[in-house]
Structure 1
Amino acid sequence: MSFTESEIAGFGVGAFLLVASLAAPKVDAFIARAQRRTLKLCEACGGVQKLPCKKCRGRGQERVGFSTPWEKSNSSAPACGACNGRGQIPCSSCCKT
């Protein structure tokens, strides 16, 4: 089986797009940190002094079981114990208290 030049070029472009899409979040985070460093802001939070809670991902409630968005749950989810239901925690890089 032989490939034409345009098929080989198509494979190359496809591979490039795949790698670029996989690397995009890391490149974006790198650029954001560089901009914060240039502006002399906290590199982690950007000077906001709050970060989303890692346990509840900023929702303020723990997720109990799996439910789809169109299913309504009759029971309310318990408040997150890590952030006390606020969804945010103080930035450990710039907040010392």
Structure 2
Amino acid sequence: MDGLGLTGSEIAGFVVGALLLGATVTAPRVDGFIASSQRRSLRMCKRCGDLRIVACPKCKGVGSVRKGGVLNMGMLDDLYESFGAEAKTDNLVPCMNCRSKGRLLCPECSKRP
């Protein structure tokens, strides 16, 4: 590692940082998996817990989405907001998927009696 000029402590710091970033990114999925298995063991709807509504997947329950396409930096804005930055509201439009309600009927249990 002499060519890069990095010490063992710096390399260990990068590895620990990468592990923490990975854990932060995957935590919501792990939490969702655990919650789903707990609901299943209680004989509840594994998706909504018998509430019969779920958050809209497009707006994530907010009721509005950022206008623009894939290249509009919306993901970067969402990342900044998750770290506590002020939310930008100038480029938000109502979500057409849920009609600005932020929730939809659960597709798994809303059809059963």
TM-score (norm 2): 0.56
Task: Tell me which structure has the larger Cα radius of gyration.
Answer: 1
Instruction: Provide the secondary structure at the position in 2 that maps to 1:89.
Output: strand
Instruction: Provide the secondary structure at the position in 2 that maps to 1:51.
Output: strand
The gaps in structure 2 that reach 5 residues or longer are 69-87
1:33 counterpart residue number: 36
The residue correspondences of 1:16-31 to structure 2 (distance < 5 A) are 16-31=19-34
* Residue 11 of structure 1, aligned match among 11, 14, 18: 14
Residue 29 of structure 1 deviates from its aligned partner by: 1.2
Residues 88, 16 of structure 1: alpha-carbon distance in 2 compared, 3 angstrom cutoff: closer
Q: Which runs of 4+ in 1 moved over 6 A?
A: none
Q: Percent identity over the alignment?
A: 44
1:91 aligns with 2:106: yes
Higher strand content, 1 or 2: 2
Does the aligned pair in 1 maintain the 2:58–2:65 contact within 8 Å?
Answer: no
The gaps in structure 1 that reach 5 residues or longer are 72-76
**RCO higher in structure (CA 8 A, sep ≥6):** 2
TM-score (norm 1): 0.63
Instruction: Provide the secondary structure at the position in 2 that maps to 1:9.
Output: helix
Amino acid corresponding to residue 6 of structure 1 in structure 2: S
Deviation string, structure 1 residues 10-32 (Cα, Å, up to 9, x no partner): 11111111211121121111111
Deviation string, structure 1 residues 32-82 (Cα, Å, up to 9, x no partner): 11111121110110111112344555456x66969x44x7xxxxx87x765
RMSD: 3.1
1:47 counterpart residue number: 50
Q: Between Structure 1 and Structure 2, how many residues are aligned?
A: 88
Amino acid corresponding to residue 5 of structure 1 in structure 2: G
